[in-house]
Amino acid sequence: MMSDRNRPGTSGIGLAPILFVVFLVLKLTHTIDWSWWWVTAPLWGAPAVYLLAVIGVLFGVAFVPALRSVILRTYERVAGKRSA
């Protein structure tokens, strides 16, 4: 069995931690005058986007059937008035 270290296509560190370290060094050396929120954004940015996507899907699952029934009832009411 191949160990994780020898597996092709894997690396030890991702882009987000590297960006965070670069931004941290730039912030501490006063090269950039960014808010700490932006300096730490590589650490929390991807999880925040993922969380927003999950919340969006959950809202979609919860509200699309209700919205569909409202649209269908409205359509039936309008179609009924046109045929009468």
List the chain domain ranges. Answer: 4-83
In this structure, the chain runs to a length of: 84
pLDDT at res. 12: 78
pLDDT at res. 71: 87
pLDDT at res. 41: 95
Distances from the Cα of 60 to the Cα of 6, 31, 56, 81, angstroms:
42, 44, 6, 31
Query: pLDDT tens-digit profile of 12-62?
Result: 788 999 999 999 999 999 999 999 999 999 999 989 999 999 999 998 888
pLDDT at res. 83: 61
Q: Crossing angle, helix 15-28 and helix 41-83, to 10 degrees?
A: 120
pLDDT at res. 52: 96
pLDDT at res. 2: 53
